[in-house]
Structure 1
Amino acid sequence: MPEAAQQDAPLTVAEVESPIINSPFVEPKCHWKIEKAKPPYKAEGRRRASYFYRVPEHAGRGRANRDQAELFESQAGEEVELEIVNAIRGRVKDWRAGVHSGGVAYDGASPVTRELLDLWRSDQRMQRLFFAQIEAVETIIFLVEAKDVYRRGLPEIPKDEPGLEAKAAGVRAFLRYACKMATGSGKTTVMGMLAAWSILNRVASPRDDRFSDTVLIVCPNVTIRERLQELDPALGDLSLYRTRQLVPPHRMEELRRGEVMIANWHRLAKKETNSVNGDSAKVVKTGEPVEVLKNAGKANESVETKYFESDQAWFKRIRRELGSGKGRSPHWLIFNDEAHHAYRRGDAATEESLDEDKDLAKKNAREATIWIEGLDRINKLAGGSRRRGINLCIDLSATPFYIQGSGNEVGKPFPWVVTDFGLLDAIESGLVKIPQLPARDVSGAEEAAYFNIWRWVQAKAKEDGLGTTITPEIVMNYASAPINLLAQEWHERFVEWEQHSKQQQKHPVPPVFIVVCRDTAVAREVHDWLANGNDSYGVSPAWFRNAPGQEVTVRIDSKVMEDIEEGGSKDETRRLRFILDTVGKSGWPGGKVPEDWSELVRKHNDKVASDDNDGSLKWVDERVPPGRDVRCIVSVAMLAEGWDANTVTHIVGLRPFGSQLLCEQVVGRALRRKSYALNEETQMFAEETAKVFGVPFELIPFKVKPVGPQPPQPDPNHIYSVPEKAEYEINFPVVSGYHQSGQFEVHIDWSKVAKVTLDPMKIPQVVELTPLTTPDGSLAAFGPGERPILSLKDWRSRFRDQQVAFRLAREICDRWQADNGAEAVPIHQLFPKVAFAAKRFLAEKLDRKGDSRPCDVLLVGEYMQAAIGSLLEAIKMGSATDQGEVAIIPQGAAGRGSTIYVDFHTTKPIYPVTRCHLNAMVADTKKWEQSAAFLLDSHSGVKRWVKNDRLGFTIPYRQRGLLARYIPDFIVVTDRDENVIVEIKGQVTDDADAKAKAAERWVEAVNRLGGHGVWRYLLVEDPGRLGIQLNEFTSSKWDEGPFQLT
């Protein structure tokens, strides 16, 4: 029966069903089918294995415009079937059912394997294993042990082939199988099951080379390495094999005859010989010489020869350091945990448009190189010269795809993926939290603003004239609003958890709020705002403020994260690692305080007791895990993969995202469930959610038509000043700021205080979240699962207008003092006047739209900065003898601009000009700029003119509290020899008033200074009246009637 014909009755908004529709212990029986603008329905059967591929924006398309080079092509997504996985999935199902063997399950499996499979699949277990775990294990066993009748005709699984240069050096391909398993689906248990299967079979049949009793697990960092120690059979009843009932008690002695080694990838790096044998390799020059670049990119760049241990010396060392030598098989079983870091570098060129992630790409490339070269050496040496060293390599990852910096096509899966239990399957089986993302907001825009905060910030900054360089201050100007909004919901969750903990008589463990930042500079601003209560960007959530002895908000920079992953020995690195390792934990695992932590606490408490302590240091109880009370983590890195904190409930992304893979990795930090309590009636887990802003993650893949070839780019036009038209040259002063001399009183010219618009349509304060997307990638406005609506209503009620005025005045005074230094008015003179002005500003100068209120100035960073900027522009220091402010103009060529310097190329259309120094004008509009050019060439009162395009003529002003540059449309010199700055209003923007006030200030200050001619400012409200309004500044008049500019 066709899939659509089997659908249940469609859901309505009132009849919301949970996204969880399958038991976690059996193969999924149905899945959600979602179509755009239609109610979702449950379709029978399991979802076919596929992956979602979307080309990063500008990738290989030769586009020059990179104003928003942070995300994806809007129409370049597709669903690609995982053909190998789907083919194997059907055969494993047949093998399990004994289709070709008279109903005998697992035909071809050894007695040991059958015993293990019976144990694992038993429904009498105390802790049943998830189907995702069973399927991954059965698939690997099937590929190794199943009879040919079940495997015949399957697509060939590609090996991990080295390149030609590596092959020439003796590197051989080895067999890899990748299991794609969603975060939280139990990959560690799968490694334990397969390690036991391999070791026990090898012990039972020592000559069967399909199995190995020497196992190596390679993982990304020290934290995971320590947690994976439970896979060591030597731990006996304390090992995972017994705590999870993976091995029968009578088989444990046999299991201990094998060996499981665990290493973070850093351990696979070759060492310099001087660090191995203690001698100076530079003196004795032993080992293999390698030329390395020293001080790369600097003036003193040079090539230096270093000496590293040989392959054989390396292998002997790691064999000695990692293991006991129990394993006797000449070839090893390898597990790559978080295997998307283990790949061979490809030849694909790096995309310049993704430069924002170049540090991440460099880190990924280094990690992959050390990881894969280490495995190649094991494969070369462990089995001797004639035998393979790696019997089988099993990759485990939620995202076994090529990542940025791999030299391969980012977002494409490893070709040896053999199983797929992805995020949607995990959501529908209740194995993970359900991510909820912004679907709609009060603005009514097609894409909710906070779905992709970085793209929204870029658009807002460009719209507000702040340029294309996104500084940390610009990020915070806008991002404070979504952070505040999501933090309000976090606090509601916090109160719920706290009440529940009190009922259970337990110490409350808070939910965790994560902010993932683009770089250290952004992270520093976010942390200062949240942890220290810096009100520059509006009021921050009080719940995340740090206090002496109470660090509830921590910052983890990328370099610190690397040190933590590698196991750095600095005290601060170790302290932060203990914090991260214990986030969400009310007690130490096993009840034992680590000795390393005790040592750190002793050092700290000694400082607390010293005479140098000024009271800022507080005594620490080593029995309390340092991460227990952490509420907020501000991170540049995405936090360590394998990080097992299950209390993360909210994430805000303040960075560009180059691929859906990166989005899934970030969202994955919040997906681990907190509770695994089972509903005995339905055999399903209860719904848990994680709310995510700013990570544009699309759960459902979609199909679109392939993108066709791009149209040919037109030849660029050359725009330059024409020497023969020197009579039309225009000069102008370059103003860097304004200045008054001496100490004066404070005056505020209220006619020059620009209004600030509070518009919830542009800075949304009400957002609806949804857990699923439609097939075209857009978020579904209705469908299964909770769809909460978040707002700032409760938070608003806490602030009175007087509090708003006080905080606003304080920030203005701080900014004024910082800007004016020694010439600033003393704070005791300034603050009372500014406080009074702030009250008046809130009463008279707020253009409140919708349900906006004065307190929104505090809650939204953009409004706060706009209010600060508006008042700062109007504040003047003066006295009875004051002549007003004058322009600050640098000396020499730096203080003079001219049309003579214009020289650039453009692919935009151009328009011929006459009374202009340039050869042509670039047309940014379809008609009105061309019409204006014709009028200026025709007006008898105009001597010369120029469009202000790459001329370097800007007017400094404050926009959203930040220093910005206003670029007017034209400069016109009239027959009165007056210089008229012309601004023709097109679309009315929020900052139009602020720009006009800034231009008037510029004109007054330049004219007062003198020496640069007479300047005027003309704001043309109606483009059709340009000629008539110019008459005010000319002797000859335009008398042809209204000129139509359309």
Structure 2
Amino acid sequence: MALHPEFPSSPHAILAPEIRWFPADEAMRETTSDKLMPPLVAMLRRKVQEFRDSDYVGASATSASLLRWWFKTEHLLPQADGTTAAFEYYFAQREAIETIVYLMDVVGFQDKHDLMRFDSSGIVSGGMFDETWRRLVVKMATGAGKTKVMSLALAWSYFHRLYEEDSQMSRNFLVIAPNIIVLDRIYKDFQGLRIFHEDPVLPDNGFDGHYWRDDFQLTLHLQDEVRVTQSTGNIFLTNIHRVYDNNTPDPSPDDDDTMDYFLGKRPTGETTDSKVDLGVIVRDIDELMVLNDEAHHIHDNKLAWFKSIEDIHNRLVQKDGRLALQVDVTATPKHNNGAIFVQTISDYPLVEAISQNVVKHPVLPDAASRTRLSEKQSSRFTEKYADYLDLGVIEWRSAYEEHEKLGKKAILFVMVDDTKNCDEVADYLSANYPDLASDDAVLTIHTKSNGEISEATSGKKKEELEELRKIANNVDDPLNPCKAIVSVLMLKEGWDVRNVTTIVGLRAYSAKSNILPEQTLGRGLRKMYPGDTEEYVSVIGTNAFMEFVEGIQAEGVELERKAMGEGTKPKTPLVVEVDNENEKKDVDALDIEIPVLTPRLRREYKNLADMKTSGLGNKPVEYKSFSEEEQREIVFKDITTDEITHTTILDTAGIADWRSVIGYFTQTVMRELRLVSGYEVLYAKVKAFVRDELFGKTVDLEDPNTLRNLSELAATKTVINAMKNAVNELTITESGDAEIRSTIKLRETRPFVTKDQAYMLPKKSVFNRIVGDSHLELQFAAFLEDCDDVVSYAKNYFAVHFKLDYVNADGNISNYYPDFIVRLKDGRILIVETKGQEDLDVPPKMARLKQWCDDVNQVANGAKYDFVFVDQESFEKYEPKSCQDLLDGFTEYK
């Protein structure tokens, strides 16, 4: 059940259906894979792939615009340090929303029969669908970003209803959380519509002719604050326990008041203090979409929550409407008997998420480690399981020390079987381990028998709920005193703490608990660090517990087994740090200081107003005559990939808005040049260039034929390249001189995590590891270790912050990080660039590095700086013996 050998490591890579995981040997892929996956998923993956490859043919104009914005447009988001960074949705998130759009727009999904046509198993029947409304289930591994899918689905529904005539979608949304913890997490993302503005959910105003940001008018109503003040534009965010009341009898025709019998029982729910009547909500609105988070509790149509949704749908039907759509997102959409929800339309399983480092890797003790664990013959719970608790603390401590270097706090999570033992374990940890003895270092949580904490609690349980709510929001904070959590069973869903590094299970699970292994591991799967670094969660427990956890292997997860206990390596990402603890190193003697000069390059945005739109050196584009039919669809393609990025459809009168086209060109130029301001000025320049210069004559922008000409690749390429060159020539200026602004000392570099890859342990570097991004880098580091004329050296990691601004081959300002910094015995500092294969940016980088060395040698008193370019072919051919050999022979870019 291993992953396909061509399965990509990047979570952003498009996953072809033929390489997706399925629960059988690879040899069975052609014959049985479709029948071993959720019944609708296999065929839908292929159909959605065709839909994606066709550039969303069949989708409404609104849907196609949104999908191209989300997944085919580069997004640069501002960072805390004032820079920008590229943002890209995971493919799992993309596939989920693409599948929803495909079913609604292309298939015209109306009922269960429209879904049954995608059955690959041959066993799906109408009786498997309990609901009478449209419901789709998205299966995504814990930590894969289900909330982002919800935000995309919500925005898509809103704009579809707003912009598409006869749309069946909604601009009102009921977002249901299974408990107060999930509610708080969603509220954090949705408050002030934060996720919609911080993520690139909303297209720029003017994109494809709509003012998306201006038109996105929504009000968030939280729990008891629900107040319908407008018929559309509402998000009702509520806990499932506030939707229904389990204690009231079902309505009867014999009741004095028969309204509930005929209209459905009003789904109210007793909470800590109050109730919410969703019947009031649906009487005041005519459209509604339901988004159900952590939805693995939805397996029983007898549950009150199901009746409540049914009631909402029935009320809308009575007003000649219907529930627009219900979208459920969960990692484990399974019935009590293990059967998957038949409505599941997309699937990103845990095995794929682990492979792509979207979540942590579960690690179990190896056989040798497990033989050292035994259950003692004792009536005291903590004496009986002392070995397991001790190993858990040892593993947690080693992880704690490593993560503390990075400003993070590791959390130990212990699962027990009842409240008495929960308290006993907490007392044991506090009494026997000094680092857990402080006040509030150990938190106890008493859950119900099925792992859930109900909001309908009182007394001590109510206090525990409030404590849990607070812990769930800030336990990852290094200032929070909590280091260990002891819980009865486990927190079944929504506990999204990222810092759990060690899980100790001291009880047996069974199918009767309705808890799955993935739900157990899920509380420790979320990653602590962004990026593609590998992270781990150590899982320790009794034989019965470990057998339960190992059941996750049925889902394709290959559990790693490693030595645990005293003297073993911590199960943490690869940490690079200054090697202060190494007694064999004199870190001060190995340190290298690097001057930081003032930037030579900068953009003067005010100069945009001075930009000329004539005489830019472009060849005039031929102005063609198109028929009236050819003028209907205006298609814009990416100048590098030839993919469609922008489409404008003329209306029946033959009149299109040329302003959105000019806006598209302007936004493309700004995005590619990383411009953060000046849109209005640049828009006017692009308009003037298109009108007067592009075609070698002045054209009428109102003419549909002009718009059709602008969609030709030659025109698009000419406009964007001419404007980029003009902007760069005008706005990029050199200071002409350089001053020393500060100094970088390598020994002051903060610890950081890096991708787990090949490394060497250096003797001549302040760092504990030299991690090679290529084999050449490790070769070169080994060479420096053996050079007699080298005193010290270091890999120039990003965390060092030594970078040079330069103008790249595309004419844009970019940052360049040289590979190595070397100090020679004669005091010189050598900056080294290693390269396996040259690219177009090598010459401008080397020219900038030479300039930097000249600048620093003029203004710095002390060490002299030089540089060298080491190409792999020459390095292996001539086998230099010293750095002086490099300086003498590797002079290609001097």
**TM-score, length-scaled by structure 2:** 0.51
1:399 and 2:332 correspond: yes
CA distance in 2, matches of 1:162, 1:228: 30
Identity of aligned residues (%): 26
CA distance in 1, matches of 2:566, 2:47: 51
Of 4, 10, 13, 1:26 maps to: 13
CA distance in 1, matches of 2:535, 2:44: 32
1:244 and 2:199 correspond: yes
The match for 1:936 is none
The question of whether the paired residues in 2 share the 8 Å contact of 1:333 and 1:390 is answered with yes
Deviation at 1:312, TM superposition (A): 4.6
Instruction: Within 5 Å, give how 1:596-615 maps onto structure 2.
Output: none
The match for 1:117 is 67
1:380 and 2:338 correspond: no
Of 10, 14, 20, 1:47 maps to: 20
Q: Which amino acid is 1:199 matched to?
A: Y
Q: Deviations over 1:502-524 (max 9, x none)?
A: xxxxxxx4210000111212212
Aligned residues: 511
Q: What's the secondary structure of 2:12's corresponding residue? A: coil
CA distance in 1, matches of 2:116, 2:452: 46
Deviation at 1:325, TM superposition (A): 6.2
The match for 1:584 is 476
Q: Which amino acid is 2:10 matched to?
A: S
The match for 2:497 is 645
C-alpha spacing 1:490/1:196, structure 2 compared with 1 (3 Å):
same
CA distance in 2, matches of 1:515, 1:652: 5
Deviation at 1:484, TM superposition (A): 0.7
The question of whether the paired residues in 1 share the 8 Å contact of 2:116 and 2:124 is answered with no
The match for 1:791 is 566
CA distance in 1, matches of 2:474, 2:139: 27
Deviation at 1:699, TM superposition (A): 7.0
The question of whether the paired residues in 1 share the 8 Å contact of 2:369 and 2:563 is answered with no
Deviation at 1:181, TM superposition (A): 0.3
CA distance in 1, matches of 2:241, 2:403: 39
Q: Deviations over 1:916-957 (max 9, x none)?
A: xxxxxxxxxxxxxxxxxxxxxxxxxxxxxxxxxxxxxxxxxx
Q: What's the secondary structure of 1:23's corresponding residue? A: coil
Q: What's the secondary structure of 2:505's corresponding residue? A: strand
C-alpha spacing 1:311/1:429, structure 2 compared with 1 (3 Å):
farther
The match for 1:511 is 410
CA distance in 1, matches of 2:125, 2:215: 32
C-alpha spacing 1:25/1:179, structure 2 compared with 1 (3 Å):
same
Q: What's the secondary structure of 1:108's corresponding residue? A: coil
The match for 1:438 is 365
The match for 1:665 is 519
Q: What's the secondary structure of 2:527's corresponding residue? A: coil
1:268 and 2:255 correspond: no
Deviation at 1:698, TM superposition (A): 3.1
Q: What's the secondary structure of 2:19's corresponding residue? A: coil
The match for 1:690 is 537
1:480 and 2:350 correspond: no
1:138 and 2:98 correspond: yes
Q: What's the secondary structure of 2:57's corresponding residue? A: coil
Of 183, 187, 190, 1:225 maps to: 183
C-alpha spacing 1:426/1:160, structure 2 compared with 1 (3 Å):
farther
Deviation at 1:655, TM superposition (A): 1.4
Q: Deviations over 1:449-488 (max 9, x none)?
A: 86xxxxx75xx76xxxx8xxxx6x2x43332112211211
Q: What's the secondary structure of 1:334's corresponding residue? A: strand
The question of whether the paired residues in 2 share the 8 Å contact of 1:159 and 1:176 is answered with no
The match for 1:594 is none
Q: What's the secondary structure of 1:651's corresponding residue? A: strand
The question of whether the paired residues in 2 share the 8 Å contact of 1:270 and 1:314 is answered with no
The question of whether the paired residues in 1 share the 8 Å contact of 2:141 and 2:331 is answered with yes
The question of whether the paired residues in 2 share the 8 Å contact of 1:221 and 1:265 is answered with yes
C-alpha spacing 1:307/1:521, structure 2 compared with 1 (3 Å):
farther
CA distance in 2, matches of 1:290, 1:551: 55
Q: Which amino acid is 1:23 matched to?
A: S
Deviation at 1:3, TM superposition (A): 11
Q: What's the secondary structure of 1:790's corresponding residue? A: coil
Instruction: Within 5 Å, give how 1:795-814 maps onto structure 2.
Output: none
CA distance in 2, matches of 1:311, 1:630: 52
Of 477, 487, 499, 2:405 maps to: 499
The question of whether the paired residues in 1 share the 8 Å contact of 2:266 and 2:308 is answered with no
The match for 2:303 is 369
**TM-score, length-scaled by structure 1:** 0.44
Q: Which amino acid is 2:118 matched to?
A: L
The match for 2:134 is 175
C-alpha spacing 1:375/1:418, structure 2 compared with 1 (3 Å):
same
The question of whether the paired residues in 2 share the 8 Å contact of 1:517 and 1:655 is answered with yes
CA distance in 1, matches of 2:397, 2:356: 28
The question of whether the paired residues in 2 share the 8 Å contact of 1:266 and 1:370 is answered with no
C-alpha spacing 1:223/1:206, structure 2 compared with 1 (3 Å):
farther
C-alpha spacing 1:325/1:267, structure 2 compared with 1 (3 Å):
closer
CA distance in 1, matches of 2:126, 2:309: 11
CA distance in 1, matches of 2:126, 2:494: 24
The question of whether the paired residues in 2 share the 8 Å contact of 1:436 and 1:689 is answered with yes
Deviation at 1:272, TM superposition (A): 7.6
Instruction: Within 5 Å, give how 1:48-197 maps onto structure 2.
Output: 48-50=21-23, 80-98=36-54, 105-122=55-72, 124-126=74-76, 127-146=87-106, 154-155=118-119, 173-197=132-156
CA distance in 1, matches of 2:560, 2:496: 30
Instruction: Within 5 Å, give how 1:1006-1045 maps onto structure 2.
Output: none
Q: Which amino acid is 1:25 matched to?
A: H
CA distance in 2, matches of 1:162, 1:23: 36
Q: Which amino acid is 2:21 matched to?
A: R
1:216 and 2:174 correspond: yes
Deviation at 1:386, TM superposition (A): 5.6
Q: Deviations over 1:866-919 (max 9, x none)?
A: xxxxxxxxxxxxxxxxxxxxxxxxxxxxxxxxxxxxxxxxxxxxxxxxxxxxxx
Q: Which amino acid is 1:543 matched to?
A: D
Deviation larger for 644-653 or 82-91? 82-91
The question of whether the paired residues in 1 share the 8 Å contact of 2:422 and 2:486 is answered with yes
Instruction: Within 5 Å, give how 1:188-337 maps onto structure 2.
Output: 188-205=147-164, 207-209=166-168, 211-229=169-187, 238-249=193-204, 250-256=211-217, 257-270=232-245, 288=251, 312=263, 315=266, 330-337=286-293
1:632 and 2:484 correspond: yes
Deviation at 1:289, TM superposition (A): 7.0
The question of whether the paired residues in 2 share the 8 Å contact of 1:288 and 1:310 is answered with yes
Instruction: Within 5 Å, give how 1:845-994 maps onto structure 2.
Output: none
The match for 1:489 is 395
Deviation at 1:114, TM superposition (A): 1.1
Instruction: Within 5 Å, give how 1:403-422 maps onto structure 2.
Output: 403=336, 409=337, 411-422=338-349
Q: Which amino acid is 2:294 matched to?
A: E
CA distance in 2, matches of 1:162, 1:384: 25
The match for 1:992 is none
Deviation at 1:95, TM superposition (A): 1.2
CA distance in 2, matches of 1:701, 1:554: 31
Q: What's the secondary structure of 1:791's corresponding residue? A: coil
Deviation at 1:51, TM superposition (A): 9.4
Q: Which has the higher contact order (CA 8 A, sep 6+)?
A: 1
Deviation larger for 553-562 or 422-431? 553-562
Q: Which amino acid is 1:268 matched to?
A: V
CA distance in 2, matches of 1:692, 1:289: 51
Q: What's the secondary structure of 2:475's corresponding residue? A: coil
The question of whether the paired residues in 2 share the 8 Å contact of 1:51 and 1:81 is answered with no
C-alpha spacing 1:644/1:567, structure 2 compared with 1 (3 Å):
farther
C-alpha spacing 1:123/1:790, structure 2 compared with 1 (3 Å):
farther
Q: What's the secondary structure of 2:306's corresponding residue? A: helix
CA distance in 1, matches of 2:66, 2:294: 25
CA distance in 2, matches of 1:523, 1:641: 19
The match for 2:598 is none
